Amino acid sequence: MTEAPDTIILVYDGDGGLRALLTDTVKTALGRQECDLCAIAWTITGKRRAWADAEARLGVFVEELHRDELPPAWRLTRADVPCILSRSFGNAPRMLLTRAEIAACGRSPAALEVRVRDALARRREGTEAARDG
């Protein structure tokens, strides 16, 4: 039986590590940030306050991964990121928001929060329907 998501995983279109962090910091300072999810969640000085507040309101755990940290078993390609996945109690993650859905937020933390909430609600409704069926 499918359970309602208890975790979302933000998958950034960038590599982890110090070298990548320095490169991304320079790109951000120059206004050339390439990852829409990064632009929503982060500023040059750290996590964007509006997104940190949104995360706190979502009611699920929030994990973050860079594309080079993705487990091969998840079978995500570079074309799939950035994306947001949902996971239920340690099960394999499922796509919650695609790259295009994140881009449609216009780099707005408030718009992304609405999309995540709506997607989680749809996922939960599907779970309830499966239980009732």
CA distance 50 to 88: 26
Asked if residue 72 is part of any domain, the answer here is yes
Name the residue among 62, 66, 74, 48 with its Cα closest to residue 116: 62
Asked if residue 1 is part of any domain, the answer here is no
Q: How confident is the model at residue 16 (pLDDT cuts 50, 70, 90)?
A: low
Asked if residue 2 is part of any domain, the answer here is no
CA distance 127 to 133: 10
CA distance 103 to 91: 27
Q: Residue 19 belongs to what H/E stretch?
A: helix 18-29
Q: How many residues does the chain have?
A: 133
Asked if residue 108 is part of any domain, the answer here is yes
For residue range 86-132, list pLDDT tens digits in order. Answer: 999 879 999 999 999 999 999 999 999 999 999 999 998 886 555 55
Give the distance between the most distant pair of CA atoms in the chain: 53
For residue range 17-31, list pLDDT tens digits in order. Answer: 666 556 656 656 556
Residue 2 pLDDT greater than 80, yes or no: no
Asked if residue 20 is part of any domain, the answer here is yes
Which SS3 state, helix, strand or coil, does residue 107 take?
coil
Asked if residue 109 is part of any domain, the answer here is yes
Range of the domain at 19: 7-132
Predicted confidence at residue 22, as pLDDT, reads 60
What mean pLDDT is reported for the chain?
87
CA distance 82 to 112: 13
For residue range 27-65, list pLDDT tens digits in order. Answer: 565 566 678 999 999 888 889 999 999 999 999 999 999
Predicted confidence at residue 30, as pLDDT, reads 58
Predicted confidence at residue 129, as pLDDT, reads 59
Quick check: 65 and 55 in contact, CB under 8 A? no
Residue 76 pLDDT greater than 90, yes or no: yes
Number of domains in the chain: 1
